[in-house]
Amino acid sequence: MSIPITLTINGTRREIALDDPRVTLLDLLRERLDLTGTKKACDRGQCGACTVIVDGRRINACLALAVSHDGSDVLTIEGLSKDGQLHPVQEAFIAHDGFQCGFCTPGQIMSAVGLIREAQAGNDPERVREAMSGNICRCGAYAGITEAVLDAQTRMAGAFKEAAE
């Protein structure tokens, strides 16, 4: 017996039939929908490689049952760029060398987008590091990641200010 769910993924409404109610959001994204930018690493919610934004909040997709998010809005790394233009956080990661091997980068970027939207970063590198602590980088690119988050936050705040004027 299949379980029908509806998700809006990267702006596109998707009706999906789940054959197993235990399928995680991560496995659904990667295996059924071919959105492989979201990485599968620890599969225990400890590394953050699978970070996506669901209904405006950062979550570990490996810990989320897909069925429990029926009706949700899901944003993955594939949904950040628009019309070939990188998201400001993606641009900042490149500018500040916020990645090395690149495996954790999608989760890091999604976590950074979420934390900026949540207004948790402030202008304090320590607050950024604390808010990003659920995302592990085995290469040690933390300094570049912190700089990228602060830079992207400043750029995004400037864009919001210009749009309001």
Give average pLDDT by consecutive 10-residue segment, the chain, 165 residues: 96 97 98 97 94 97 98 98 95 94 94 91 88 91 95 80 51
| Identity of the residue numbered 115 | L
- pLDDT attached to residue 120: 74
- Predicted TM-score (pTM) of the model is 0.91
Q: What angle do CA 58, 24, 83 make, to 5 degrees?
A: 55
Beta bridge partners of 15: 6
pLDDT at 158: 63
pLDDT at 159: 60
Q: Tokens at residue 27, please?
A: 């496995």
Please, where in the chain does CATH 1.10.150.120 lie?
88-164
Q: How far is CA 37 from CA 31, 94, 111, 162, 165, in A?
A: 11, 17, 14, 31, 36
Topology (CATH level 3) of domain 3-79: Ubiquitin-like (UB roll) (3.10.20)
**What superfamily in CATH does domain 88-164 come from?**
[2Fe-2S]-binding domain (1.10.150.120)
Nearest to 151 by CA among 117, 105, 116, 114: 116
